[in-house]
Structure 1
């Protein structure tokens, strides 16, 4: 069960990154050219946030099942490196990113003008994407070494 969750969480991150990047790109382009906020733009806002929330749910279940997090929470031994990354840093930064996405999505929905909707999406989703990129355990990270794709 744990391995399936780990693979799903690892694969789903690419969908989160793709959704956020595409929504950011489209929002920026449409903001610059003063185009109207369409149903497609609203659907992208909504589905990007939904995909991020699904990833959060996968991550929360994975967090409760992770042997590394259980080791970190037990307080046994030297809690440095990967246990600290996954036990504290990763979870807190990802929660922060999802909160920012949620606030940005809700605020964009309520903006009175199309331009402000695009700017709100671009600002909040951009901040969330930066936080996510910092919190992902990249293969080149000094805190946690994970492959780009798990099988």
Structure 2
């Protein structure tokens, strides 16, 4: 299970970077009226793919995690790591990945480049906001995890 935690920890930075890249490219396309190119398609597909891979690793981690399993055994609604990871983190991150996937699919089907950039920007900013809320930052009052896991 430790390998899943390390993988999940590394992938989180790739997810954040790829989502930020898509947001920047969509903003740049909107503001400077640039054409939608292969770079935009690859960046969007990569961000969606990396985030879905992160979700799969997260699901495996959720299934094997003693923190989530102990929550479901006790079903204690007292605030703590169990409640955060079993419900809040799991639910918000799943919603964020779904929003990223829907945004990518809608943008892919849109013919107008301005609307395509606007869709990408709106959906990815919303997903980023949800992701930032649901991350167990080292300074978070909800649940804390270190910036980097040691190998």
Q: Which residue of 1 aligns with 2:124?
A: 125
Q: CA RMSD in A?
A: 1.2
- Count the aligned residue pairs: 150
Q: Which residue of 1 aligns with 2:11?
A: 12
Q: Which runs of 5+ in 2 are unaligned?
A: none
| Segments ≥4 residues shifted beyond 6 Å | none
Contact 1:72–1:83 (8 Å) recurs in 2: yes
Shift of 1:75: 1.0
Q: Does 1:72 align with 2:71?
A: yes
Once the two structures are superposed, what CA deviation does each residue of 1:41-80 show, in whole Å capped at 9, x if it has no partner?
1111111100000000000000000001111010176742
Q: Normalising to structure 2: TM-score of the pair? A: 0.96
Distance change in 2, residues 1:98/1:78 (3 Å) = closer
Q: Normalising to structure 1: TM-score of the pair? A: 0.96
2:43 & 2:94 partners in 1: Cα distance?
Answer: 21
Shift of 1:122: 0.4
Q: Which runs of 5+ in 1 are unaligned?
A: none
Distance change in 2, residues 1:79/1:65 (3 Å) = farther
Q: Which residue of 1 aligns with 2:149?
A: 150
Distance change in 2, residues 1:71/1:29 (3 Å) = same
